[in-house]
Structure 1
Amino acid sequence: MPVTESVKSQSAYQIICASSKGFLPNNPDLWDSKKQESPQSTFVKYQGENLKSRQKVYWQIRFWNQDENASDWSEINSFELGLLNNTDWQAKWVGLNTAKNNIRGVRKFLMHRPQYLRKGFELSSDVVSARLYITAKGVFDVHLNGNDVSDDVMSPGWTPYNHRIETLTYDATEFVQMGKNSIAVELASGWHSGRVSRRTALYDNFSSPKILCQLEVVLKDGSKQTIISDESWKGTTNGPIRLASVYDGEVYDANLEIPNWTKNDFDDTSWVPVETEDITNSVTLEPKRHNTVKPKMMLEDAEIVSVNNNIAIFNLKQNMVGVPKLNVPMKKGDTLKIRFSEMLLSDGTFYTTNYRSAKSTDYYIAAKDGL
């Protein structure tokens, strides 16, 4: 409710929902809250008709001010539901067996090489709409035909994996086309099989990270094509991200970059078939109930605290979560080490005692001379 000269408080509200724009505001077929005498303007519980997976809902709202004068109806807004039930998924969990490498890190924690997973597919007609339903046991970044599908970071985020895994829905219409297409996913341990406790890994029974992916495309001829994660996918761990850990940071070797691996003309014949795992009823798959992590701002001017030989310390002047953006002259084979801390001591040196065993360090290995 906007506060203006004539609107100082809210005395009532009304919410209406419909399955089509044309039904609003006079024939809301999903829900009409009627006039509710209440100052409440957030967290009003939906109490209309039962909604289904993939359903699009159109809604409007109006309010009454302190003098019982009604506002105009708001513009028509909408929301769309994801896949609400495990049975809506045709896909399988897919990934590589990275546990077998038996890479051990701090306190002998099992570490997993990040995975590069992909599948090529063809669409027989022009695309009207496309929805990508996706989640991971781990964290992922997904690409369609070489395009980043979103700017989300470390999706799908933390969840109690043995009870509930949160799924995401992306409008992928602009990223797919008639003819050849490709879907490509980077996958790392994240909180699922990474070191996030002081003792053993929380979810040892689910060792190697996996993704679950279902792309549903409506074509111009009215037909529907569904591309799922299954045995036809291929993968490799021989990519530039060598290790990635929530607590310990990331190792990136530019010598192992895979040009164009996210694009549909990439030759993946040397990659290996994925392993698959069926969806189980014991773990609920349900749409994420809160916002994803996204970039919010760029801090432009980091203060240089000190420079000593080839070491520089920067002060960002706040405790925050982010990634460094650096231009550094390097020679082929050089390693750039970037260490993070939550504060500086009074003499300008790093304070990392509170990190205990967390390394919180990134490494970049250069593939050529230059910046």
Structure 2
Amino acid sequence: MLAEEAGETKSPARVEHLRCEYRIDPLGIDVARPRLSWLMLDARRGARQTAYQILVASSREKLARNEGDLWDSGRVESSLTNQIEYAGQPLTSRAECHWKVRIWDADGAVTEYSRPALWTMGLLEDADRQARWIQAPATLYHPALENNASQEDPAKKILATGLFRKEFAVDQPVRKATLYAAALGLFDVELNGKDAVPDLFPPGWTDYNKRVYYNTYDVTTLVSQGKNAIGATLAPGWYSGHIGWSKQAFLYGKDPKIWLQLELELADGSRKIVVTDDSWRFSFGPELEAEFLAGETYDARLRMPGWSEPAFDDGTWKPAVVASDVAARLEAQPGVPVLITGEVPTQAITEP
């Protein structure tokens, strides 16, 4: 019941900084009973929370009407503000969960509801994951360095990045587009020539013999009705590049691999899925060497403008290879992304 309807006294306190699984509006989580948290902002002496109410709805509209069709906790007498387990309807793959909180203060007065927050569920069942792992046709040694002296010692040879692409058509307006992406290595993805991945070094380092994380991205603004193209850059990262104090290469495997699943919800309610498989094309690009410890060698002459856009001529590209030796279990990304948070402007540039 609304505070106005119940005639309750309004509290000047506020509820801010909503988190789900310790993150702000996380996409694609796989925790069946996510943990929720918030902060009470109140400068009064002796301020404290005495109760809370959480609403979780399947749409923004329902939440705006204070309809918790997924979960309405009701008034819970508690001072807890973190690790509150979701206890509503069972959550399924791809579910959208819009939520907000209000609390009662030390005087028994109730706050306004917080601003709405969001989490979405990932691909919870094996049947939901239709993409296949793909890799380059051969080890990622760039052909431009075949006769380079730096490549003579096999122990010191540095891996390059690989480019993968696929075109697809959409026959009606796109209501929503979601990208699920993972790599044994590091990935970057472009859609129709625009960046689809805001973070750096995804999906991070795991014990690739046991698990690998997939990240979830909302790419609705990057896909449109008509012809489209998706392109991915795959780097060796921690999987196969030189890492550690001994600079050991191929610690987990020799050939980096990538896994992508792009899901489109169309105007008529149907779903179109674009996945990595043997229909994708592969080529080397301008990054001749690209490893954490070895650094990067970039040859701008080998750039291919438009390679992730429709109608690009990939006639000289080779078919990608489907990998059959991946034992790592796919799990939703549990951590926060690595993001650029600021830039330091150059004060002066000098040369000796």
**TM bucket, shorter chain:** 0.7 to 0.9
In the alignment, which residue of structure 2 is the partner of 1:285?
330
In the alignment, which residue of structure 2 is the partner of 1:131?
178
In the alignment, which residue of structure 2 is the partner of 1:145?
192
In the alignment, which residue of structure 2 is the partner of 1:218?
265
Q: Helix, strand or coil for the counterpart of 2:221?
A: helix
Shift of 1:39: 3.0
In the alignment, which residue of structure 1 is the partner of 2:50?
11
Q: For residue 259 of structure 2, what is the amino acid of its counterpart?
A: L
CA distance in 2, matches of 1:112, 1:301: 32
Q: Is the CA contact 2:200–2:337 (under 8 Å) kept in the aligned structure 1?
A: yes
In the alignment, which residue of structure 1 is the partner of 2:287?
241
CA distance in 1, matches of 2:152, 2:252: 19
CA distance in 2, matches of 1:173, 1:67: 45
Q: Is the CA contact 1:132–1:216 (under 8 Å) kept in the aligned structure 2?
A: yes
Q: For residue 284 of structure 1, what is the amino acid of its counterpart?
A: R
CA distance in 1, matches of 2:125, 2:152: 37
Q: Is the CA contact 2:240–2:252 (under 8 Å) kept in the aligned structure 1?
A: no
Shift of 1:219: 1.9
1:58 aligns with 2:98: yes
- What are the Cα deviations for residues 89-111 of structure 1, in whole angstroms up to 9, with x where unaligned? 11111120443749969992563
Cα pair distance change 1:277/1:87, threshold 3 Å: farther
- Specify every segment of 5 or more residues in structure 1 that has no aligned partner in the other structure, as ranges: 310-371
In the alignment, which residue of structure 2 is the partner of 1:315?
none
Q: Is the CA contact 2:140–2:159 (under 8 Å) kept in the aligned structure 1?
A: no
CA distance in 1, matches of 2:85, 2:269: 35
Q: Is the CA contact 2:170–2:226 (under 8 Å) kept in the aligned structure 1?
A: yes
Q: Helix, strand or coil for the counterpart of 1:255?
A: helix
1:115 aligns with 2:162: yes
Q: Give the root-mean-square deviation of aligned CA atoms.
A: 2.7
Cα pair distance change 1:221/1:23, threshold 3 Å: closer
Q: Is the CA contact 2:159–2:291 (under 8 Å) kept in the aligned structure 1?
A: no
Q: Is the CA contact 1:15–1:61 (under 8 Å) kept in the aligned structure 2?
A: yes
CA distance in 2, matches of 1:154, 1:83: 22
Please identify, of 252-261 and 74-83, the stretch whose mean Cα deviation from structure 2 is larger: 74-83
CA distance in 1, matches of 2:140, 2:220: 38
Q: Helix, strand or coil for the counterpart of 2:85?
A: coil
In the alignment, which residue of structure 1 is the partner of 2:21?
none
Q: Is the CA contact 1:137–1:210 (under 8 Å) kept in the aligned structure 2?
A: yes
Shift of 1:205: 5.1
Query: What does residue range 1-371 of structure 1 map to in structure 2 within 5 Å?
Result: 1-5=40-44, 8-21=47-60, 23-24=62-63, 27-99=67-139, 101=141, 108=155, 111-199=158-246, 201=248, 204=251, 206-237=253-284, 239-278=285-324, 282-301=327-346, 309=352
- What are the Cα deviations for residues 11-32 of structure 1, in whole angstroms up to 9, with x where unaligned? 2322222324455476533333
CA distance in 2, matches of 1:4, 1:117: 54
Shift of 1:188: 0.4
Q: Is the CA contact 2:178–2:262 (under 8 Å) kept in the aligned structure 1?
A: yes
Q: For residue 36 of structure 1, what is the amino acid of its counterpart?
A: V
CA distance in 1, matches of 2:315, 2:55: 53
Cα pair distance change 1:3/1:18, threshold 3 Å: same
Q: Is the CA contact 1:162–1:203 (under 8 Å) kept in the aligned structure 2?
A: no
Shift of 1:189: 0.7
CA distance in 1, matches of 2:100, 2:348: 48
Please identify, of 20-29 and 111-120, the stretch whose mean Cα deviation from structure 2 is larger: 20-29
CA distance in 2, matches of 1:116, 1:148: 14
Q: Helix, strand or coil for the counterpart of 1:54?
A: coil
Shift of 1:150: 3.1
Cα pair distance change 1:84/1:200, threshold 3 Å: farther
**TM-score normalized by the length of structure 1:** 0.74
Q: Helix, strand or coil for the counterpart of 1:150?
A: coil
| Number of equivalent positions | 305
CA distance in 2, matches of 1:167, 1:42: 26
Q: Is the CA contact 1:104–1:111 (under 8 Å) kept in the aligned structure 2?
A: yes
- What are the Cα deviations for residues 190-211 of structure 1, in whole angstroms up to 9, with x where unaligned? 1111122234747645321111
Q: Is the CA contact 2:242–2:250 (under 8 Å) kept in the aligned structure 1?
A: no
Shift of 1:284: 2.1
Shift of 1:7: 7.9
Shift of 1:120: 1.0
